[in-house]
A and B are shown apart, each in its own frame.
Chain A
Amino acid sequence: MKLPKARVSRPRSPPEVEGADSENGRPDRREAFSRKEPGPRKPRFPEASRGKDSAVSRFIAFSFHCGLFLVIPASVLIFGVKARMDTLILICVILGLAAVMYRMGMARALRVGDGTRPLHSTPVYHGLYVALWCVIPSLAFLLLWLMFEPAIVRGLVLASLPDSVLSGPDGQPLSAQRIQLIYTEIGNVANGLVPVDSPAALMEASAYKDRLHLLGNRGTWAACLAIALGGTAWALSRITPVLRTRNKVESVFRAFILMCSGLAILTTLGIVLSLVFESLRFFAHVSVTDFLFGLHWSPQTATGPDVSKSFGAVPLFAGTFLIAGIALVVAVPIGLMSAIYMSEYAHPRFRAVAKPLLEVLAGIPTVVYGFFAALAIAPLFRSLGEQLGLDVSSESALAAGVVMGVMIVPFVSSLSDDVISAVPRSLREGSLGLGATKSETIRRVVIPAALPGIVGGVLLAASRAIGETMIVVMAAGMAARLTANPFEAVTTVTVQIVTLLVGDQEFDSPKTLAAFALGLVLFCLTLIMNIVALYVVRKYREQYD
């Protein structure tokens, strides 16, 4: 469908222009490979003409190519005998080879474009085509090999073991776990960690494993290089003037970007699935209702039959929302007011300085906020509270929330600033033209018009606040307490996930699995908030169009 169109749409230079260009010594690129009459002395293409000009440079290029062809396989043989060669080096070699093949493909395209027919694609695409044939099959093979090598080696090594090793004293075959243990031991021997009492059979097997690895390694090098060179040769042999390399390269590029986006989606999917499956394992120990609606959280003491009663997540979510709520109470007014000032009142020169400064807040690592909260703000609140006769804990939700609020101010202000600036000037003029003052215009027209966008910004900031860990660890403490009092220490979901997973833990106890369940619920909450935010923001876009 596309092809003939592409060909037709490619304009040909008028002949008189071609002639003029060539005489100026600036041969038109298009003319070089779509030229119909065979001009014996005219340079067909700048690259080609350069080669013709200097026999020396041509000779150097030729010997370089030959050198690569000879040196690489030779080096494989020489060095490969002595030691394992790094896969990374192999990849570099293949890429280097591809760069050379790119030039060869271009040169070949110019040679086959003998002037009787126009080339379908520019020589660059022929070069890319050859280079891709050099890289893709060999790297695909390498990838497959790296994926299957361990299984193949394992099978071969285990097959080589005498039956006496693989069966127990009673003659029964060993369980899969025991066999895995033996194989790990072989690996340890092969890595040089020789246990004192390893039997001779194991030593032998590990030596065999070493040999297999070396062989596999050398084989990979040889096979990859052979595939790269073979692919190149095939591609080079296929180059004709009518070969549609432009379209082929285009489709490879399409496949490549598809893979990239697919990878991102698959990663997300993988994270979600791992959360879901680990959570299912957790819910085998603890009932869902106890987890979601239980009021008591103390995983450290979870033992006995009522293990379920120690995993009530309500205090954690209450703490999370308390701190996030305090953060929003701080961040929304400050962020919104500064956004209004920046977009409506500030002199452009002040704005140019102040806006980046405000956004620096977003760039401060949360750890730094954390010790700012723990060392400066929390004691301050505590002493203030003492003067007012309030009992403020030295680790309080208030301190964590206020500092977190400062942290998310730039989210609110930056996004609000954008949407406020996006409110059309005509609306402002309409309001001012009716005799409204500036602040009336902002309150009654600009803010309502920008409100959906502002809400979107606030929701994004809220997601950020809910997911924040570091500040809470440092300033709000670890005590899971169900309270609405901001002066007390509370804890959040993310903090508990960290404490559950830090240190030496078995990964199948309810205690560690609880982390995944918490993560899943948190993920769902922030996902819902983000979806709402996106929906609101999209709705905002439709407002004026």
Chain B
Amino acid sequence: MIDQSFHYEGVTGHPRLPGRDIKFSINDVNVYYGPKHALKNVGLDIASREVTAFIGPSGCGKSTFLRSLNRMNDLIDGCRVEGQVLIEGEDIYAPEVDVVELRARVGMVFQKPNPFPKSIYENVAYGPRIHGIARSRDELDGIVQSSLERAGLWKEVRDRLDAPGTGLSGGQQQRLCIARAIAVSPEVILMDEPCSALDPIATAKVEELIDELSGNYTIIIVTHSMQQAARVSQRTAFFHLGYLIECEQTDVIFMNPQHPLTQGYITGRFG
């Protein structure tokens, strides 16, 4: 039996990655939803160009933490973030930071595929148009094509770029959303349970895609499936009740977890 009333604070310290290329460095982040203290003293480093997975039971704060990395929490009424989130040394919560620019650097893919009710082409071209990335129509076409190719969707949709994006299957829609995110060439892609609305075959395709993308992008994925975390990620962070419990190499977390809570969760004793 695991004592869940255990006092977690400072259990593992803040997992740092000395000597690695660090994308995010997070120090003592606290998130509040009104009076609710959703995330408590979280600190860790996230390495560039690899996949980091956040796992943990529902309500543990992993999605909240993900959304605080590109300030999507700003959109929620009554949400307050304290602490430091450094992206390549710059604090994203500093007053002079342009949220729009930040979100162009840190893209996001959501739990439910949310293509705009526009054509497939317009979905992908949306970001480049907004940021004025393409100077000509040809350039825009090129960006759309390469984004769709990198998302593994080009072959399936190249004949019907004018068809509505909402007419694709669930898995295709999610890959379209990934294409849409990489069209603005972000440095980081945040994925909030990207496969939870997909069937196993579509999930496999998206996982394959994540694997391919990890060479060029820093990917942070929140998932409910421990198998998925084990399959796609190089590092895994385990959250519980708003605390970061453990953050380690994925094989260490799954083979040799240090903390009894992590052990209990990955062996299915709670969660």
Partner of B100, one of A437, A448, A544: A437
A140 on interface, CB distance cutoff 8 Å: no
Q: A426-B110, A444-B130 are in contact. Are A433 and B70 (CB under 8 A)?
A: yes
> Could you tell me how many residues of chain B have their Cβ less than 8 Å away from some Cβ of chain A?
27
The reply to whether A433 and B107 form a contact with Cβ atoms under 8 Å apart is yes
Q: What DSSP secondary structure best describes chain A's contact surface?
A: helix
Alpha-carbon distance A434/B11, docked complex (angstroms): 36
Check A431 against B101 for contact (C-beta < 8 Å).
no
Report yes or no: B101 in contact with A435, Cβ–Cβ below 8 A.
Answer: yes
Instruction: Verify if B260 is at the interface (C-beta below 8 Å from A).
Output: no
User: Could you tell me if B110 and A431 are in contact, using CB atoms closer than 8 angstroms?
Assistant: no
CA distance A445 to B112 in the complex (A): 17
Contact across chains for B107 and A434 when beta carbons are under 8 A apart = yes
A432 touches which of B75, B77, B117, B166 (Cβ 8 Å)? B75
B231 to chain A, nearest CB (A): 25
Q: Are A435 and B100 CB-contacts (below 8 A) given A444-B130, A449-B117?
A: yes
A426-B110, A429-B75, A429-B110 known; A434 vs B103 contact (CB < 8 Å) = yes
Which of the 9-residue segments B12-20, B82-90, B177-185 touches chain A? B177-185
Pair A435/B114 contact, Cβ less than 8 Å:
no
Question: Which one of A348, A424, A431 contacts B126 once the chains associate, using CB atoms below 8 Å?
Answer: A431
**Structural contact, B100 and A436, CB atoms closer than 8 A:** yes
Asked, given contacts A440-B130, A444-B130, whether A433 binds B117 with beta carbons under 8 Å apart, the answer is no
Known: A433-B108, A544-B117. 10 other contacts (CB 8 A): A430-B110, A430-B115, A434-B126, A434-B180, A435-B127, A435-B130, A435-B184, A437-B100, A449-B116, A544-B166
Please, how many angstroms separate the alpha-carbon atoms of A444 and B131 in the complex?
A: 13
Q: Are A434 and B75 in contact (CB under 8 A)?
A: no
Residues of B within 8 A of A429 (CB): 72, 75, 108, 110, 114
Whether A433 lies near B110 (C-beta < 8 A) is yes
Chain B 155-195: CB-based contact to A (< 8 A → 1; otherwise 0): 00000000000100000000001001100100000000000
Given A426-B114, A427-B116, A449-B117, check contact A434 B130 (CB 8 Å): yes
- State how many angstroms separate the Cβ of A381 from the closest Cβ of chain B: 42
On whether the beta carbons of A433 and B112 are closer than 8 Å, the reply is: no
Task: Specify which of A424, A430, A431, A437 lies most central, judged by the most chain B CB atoms within 10 Å of its CB.
Answer: A430
Q: Quick one: CB contact mask for A105-129 with B, threshold 8 Å, 1 for yes?
A: 0000000000000000000000000
0 or 1 for each of B57-91: is its CB under 8 Å from A? (1 = yes): 00000000000001010010100000000000000
Establish whether residues B114 and A427, one from each chain, have CB atoms under 8 Å apart when the complex forms. Answer: yes
7 closest A-B pairs by beta carbon, nearest first, are: A435-B104, A433-B108, A426-B114, A435-B103, A434-B127, A430-B114, A435-B100
Known: A430-B114, A434-B180. A444 touches B101 (CB 8 A): no
B118 at the interface (CB under 8 A from A): yes
Task: Name the residue on B nearest A434 (C-beta).
Answer: B127
B104 touches A434 (CB 8 A): yes
Query: Which of A433, A437, A440 counts the most chain B CB atoms within 10 A?
Result: A433
Closest residue on chain A to residue B117 by CB atoms: A449
Write the A393-432 contact mask toward B (1 if CB under 8 angstroms, else 0). Answer: 0000000000000000000000000000000101111111
Total interface residues on A, using CB and 8 Å?
21
Which residues from B are CB-within-8-Å of A445?
Answer: 116, 126
The answer to whether A543 has its CB under 8 Å from any CB of chain B is yes
Residue from A427, A428, A435, A437 with most neighbouring chain B CB atoms (10 Å): A435
Q: Which residue of A lies closest to B181 (CB)?
A: A434
26 contacts across the A-B interface (CB closer than 8 A): A426-B112, A427-B114, A427-B117, A428-B75, A429-B72, A429-B75, A430-B114, A430-B115, A430-B116, A430-B180, A431-B116, A432-B72, A433-B70, A434-B126, A434-B127, A434-B180, A435-B100, A435-B103, A435-B107, A435-B130, A435-B131, A435-B184, A445-B126, A448-B117, A448-B118, A544-B117
Interface residues of A in 440-468 (CB under 8 A from B): 440, 444-445, 448-449
A316 to chain B, nearest CB (A): 41
Chain A contacts for B107, CB-based, 8 A: 433-435
Please give me the residue from chain A that is nearest to B131 by CB atom: A435
- Cβ of A424 and Cβ of B101 under 8 Å apart? no
Shortest CB–CB separation between residue A78 and chain B, in angstroms? 74
Closest A-chain residue to B70, C-beta based?
A433
Contacts of A440 in B (CB 8 A): 130
Min Cβ gap A510→B in Å is: 52
Q: How far is the CB of A130 from chain B (nearest CB, A)?
A: 57
Contact residues in A for B72 (Cβ distance below 8 Å): 429, 432-433
Question: With a CB–CB cut-off of 8 A, which chain B residues contact A435?
Answer: 100-104, 107, 127, 130-131, 184
- Which residues of chain A have C-beta atoms less than 8 A from B127's C-beta? 434-436
Interface positions of A from 530 to 545, Cβ below 8 Å from B? 543-544
User: B130, A436: Cβ atoms under 8 Å?
Assistant: yes
Nearest chain-A residue to B103 (Cβ)? A435
Q: Identify the closest chain A residue to B118 (Cβ).
A: A448
- Chain A's closest residue to B114 (CB) is A426
CA A435 – CA B105 in complex, angstroms?
8
- In the complex, what residues of A have CB within 8 A of residue B102's CB? 435
Q: A494 vs B224: C-alpha distance in the bound complex, in angstroms? A: 64
Closest chain B residue to A437 by CB distance?
B100
A348 to chain B, nearest CB (A): 8
Quick one: which of B70, B100, B101, B102 has the most chain A CB within 10 A? B100
What CA separation (Å) do A433 and B104 show in the bound complex? Answer: 8
